[in-house]
A and B are shown apart, each in its own frame.
Chain A
Amino acid sequence: MGLQPFLVLSSALFCIGLFGVITRRNTIGILLGIELMLNSVNINLVAFSRFNGSVAGMVFTVFTISITVAEMALGLAIVILLFRVRRTAMADHLDLLKG
């Protein structure tokens, strides 16, 4: 088992997550896509860390997980707030920045 399979797996997860971010209508769905992408990054970090023999990547995985959780908590709070104000959670209804 070399490094390559892990990276291929991580790439696949990343692209699936990106696809979710681009296509999901629901804001919560978009957040789920982001989770997938971050997850793939974590796999990447741990895999490189293991195959390079350095513990740093794992430490950073700890950090990213924490940050992800914080981001998730805030993201969901925003979603709930948006829903309160606009009565919708659909991302394509939120186009106040339209040019």
Chain B
Amino acid sequence: MRTDPGTLALVSLLLPLASFFVLAIVAPFRRLGRPAAYFSVLCATGAFAAAVMAWLAQGESTIPTLHLWEWLPGQGKSLATVGVLVDPDSTVMLMLVTLVALLVQVYSLGYLHEEPPKGLGRYYTYQSLFAFSMMGLVLSPNLLQLFMCWELVGLCSYLLIGFWYPKPEAARAAVKAFWTTKLGDVGFLIGIVLLWRSAGTFDLTELHAMVQSSTLPLAGLSIITFCIYLGAAGKSAQFPFHVWLPDAMEGPTPVSALIHAATMVTAGVYLLHRTSWLFALTPDVLLIVAWVGAFTALLAAVLACVQDDIKRVLAYSTVSQLGYMMAAIGAGFSAAGFFHLLTHGLFKALLFLGAGAVIHAVGTNDISKMGGLARKMPITAIVFLIGTLSLAGIPFFGGYLSKEEILGAMWAGGLPGPFAVLMLVAFLTAFYMFRVVFLAFYGPSHVAASHGELVMTTPPDEGKIVHDQPGPHSSHLHDPPASMLLPLLTLAALAMFVGIYSTLIGPLLPAEAAEHAAPGWLTPSAVGVAVVGILLAWLTYQRRTINPESLASAFGPIRTAALAKFWVDDAFIFVYERVLLTFARVVGWTDRYIVDGVLNMVSAWTLTAGDDLRTIQTGKAQDYVYGVAVGVLALILWMKLS
């Protein structure tokens, strides 16, 4: 085996593509279901192994390895290239993507065991394509390839969110995700084109070199970076584009894990991290990024506090954590955001897969219909708790150091406002996550006694169709089968490892070493607010010292607003129904009656004129002679007079 990291990354990239092509083209094989799934898992395993080897081969070296092929030939040099750019960031990210993709695929073997073979084959086809597009995005050496993979990722998430397309909510959520991200993508595309016009290249390395030698024209750069940020905000669910992410929960839970942890939403953060040297030139845009990130984090955290759907809580927490990463990038410390992206990828995948195990067993997403699950599903409860502690940023757990770094970055970046917001969000995060833990895993059970009838008598919650509904067998609550448990344990172990390593020794990856000195009081206070949040949740939902209702009424207006999702969706609907539809009607009317009217009138005139003109063709030879005579006469007259 060659040790060139570029080749290894290429192998890693092409394996899922091969899997996709085989599954997509060889329809009989795809329709077999299970064998197709095993094939896809095999390819994902290979991809992960290659990614790990690429990372090891890259090692400490920060010199990027480039493998480029000319794609669009241009004058002098090619207009665009395709290939892979391997450097420490992309190898780490590649490893995360392949790892989560692999674990999700393994997990899905258990989670989707009731799916008919045809559907299962389709699922794994999409999964392979999804993995390939995300890896292509991660390894992109230029913005054009990155954009294409970006769109492929969007397409795949559309396909997977709408995997159960007979369900109207799923189809609607898929379209919503597609259009909302597309809104940002338009900005991204405009940004790329503008950047190309001013810099003359799509290539990231060349652009970086231009920035370093200060040869990049600065005029209009703010617009360019803002446009690129729009794309990232769409993908990474920043306010006001966050509306698609909670709805994306309509897809199968493993898909949610994949979208939230390793692909799709992380693409935006990754993009900003990749182009952070570009954004560094436009501090005004960075300020927007930071504030929007902090605001998104707060908004989503508040929304998460009032949700009863376990997956929606996790979805809003993802939005919130993405806000964290964006805020760090906005503060100018993109490495901190990227570090959090990696650790978040691990524990969010863990949380989603854990939630999937719970849903699989209980048959509902509603945490008020769970409770006391820790006794029935001890392993699931433990791994879920590990994920929750990681998310809350408790020492020795995965998210501890990265969260610290972001808060430190905000402080060091001179942004006390967003810093305060993010501290508040840290408190809220701990609170809402432990609310889920206490309601679902501890306390009195609302499941065990009535679960059997619940499935049969109560209509499935939130319009769940049979696919997401466990069969009768799941009335026996127990930990999930091995294919689901293995990924959970792997992720939990990794989260723990990262947490312990980073707490005791320091940052795991040299590239993510702290770029700033955090004040000494930061760690105690950050951990402190998290502990306070946990305590509050414990008192409210476990000990019942504080009545949840009175707590709710204390924050009445905010709660009402949060239940209405702060009317962001309503604002979108208003803009769509009132403004866009009215505009569309006006345009439609203009097109139908004015543009078409003019054209129809011209064509009608032409027809009439033709009808009238043909009468001069009498068919009589003499009339033509007469015409010739008149013509000759006119000609002579003209010659005489001129």
Contacts and interface: CB of A to CB of B under 8 A. Distances in A.
A99 B626 contact: no
Interface stretch (A2-10, A43-51, A53-61, A90-98): A90-98
Interface string A13-47: 00000100111100000100000000000000000
Contacts of B618: 95, 98-99
A97 B622 contact: no
A98 B617 contact: yes
Interface residues on B, range: 10 to 19
Nearest to B624: A97
Interface in A57-95: 91-92, 94-95
B631 to A, nearest CB: 13
Interface string B603-615: 0000000000011
Interface residues on A, range: 10 to 19
B620 interface: yes
Q: Identify the interface centre among B620, B622, B625: most chain A CB within 10 Å of its CB.
A: B622
Q: Identify the interface centre among B614, B619, B626: most chain A CB within 10 Å of its CB.
A: B619
B201 to A, nearest CB: 62
A86 B590 CA distance: 57
B625 A94 contact: no
B619 A22 contact: no
B620 A92 contact: yes
B509 interface: no
Contacts of A92: 620, 622
Contacts of B629: 18, 22
B621 interface: yes
Nearest to B627: A22
A97 B618 CA distance: 7
A95 B625 contact: no
A30 B621 CA distance: 10
Q: Identify the interface centre among A18, A22, A24, A96: most chain B CB within 10 Å of its CB.
A: A22
A97 B625 contact: no
Contacts of A98: 617-620
A94 B622 CA distance: 10
Interface in B278-321: none
Contacts of B625: 18, 21-22
Contacts of B620: 91-92, 94-95, 98
B622 A99 contact: no
A92 B621 CA distance: 8
Contacts of B621: 30, 91, 94
A38 to B, nearest CB: 14
A4 B238 CA distance: 98
A24 B617 CA distance: 19
Contact of A22 (B614, B615, B616, B626): B626
Contacts of A97: 617, 619
Contact of A21 (B614, B616, B622): B622
A7 to B, nearest CB: 15
Contacts of A95: 618-620
Contacts of B622: 21-24, 30, 91-92
A9 B629 CA distance: 19
Contacts of A24: 622
Nearest to B614: A99
Nearest to B629: A18
A47 B626 CA distance: 28
Contacts of A21: 622, 625
A30 B625 CA distance: 11
Contact of B615 (A23, A94, A96, A99): A99
Q: Identify the interface centre among B614, B615, B616, B629: most chain A CB within 10 Å of its CB.
A: B629
Given A18-B629, A97-B619, A98-B619, 10 more contacts: A21-B622, A22-B622, A23-B622, A92-B622, A94-B620, A94-B621, A98-B617, A99-B616, A99-B617, A99-B619
Interface of A: 18, 21-24, 30, 91-92, 94-99
15 contacts: A21-B622, A22-B626, A22-B629, A30-B621, A30-B622, A91-B622, A95-B619, A95-B620, A96-B619, A98-B617, A98-B620, A99-B614, A99-B615, A99-B618, A99-B619
Enumerate the 4 nearest inter-chain pairs by beta-carbon distance, A residue then B residue, closest first.
A99-B617, A98-B619, A95-B619, A97-B619
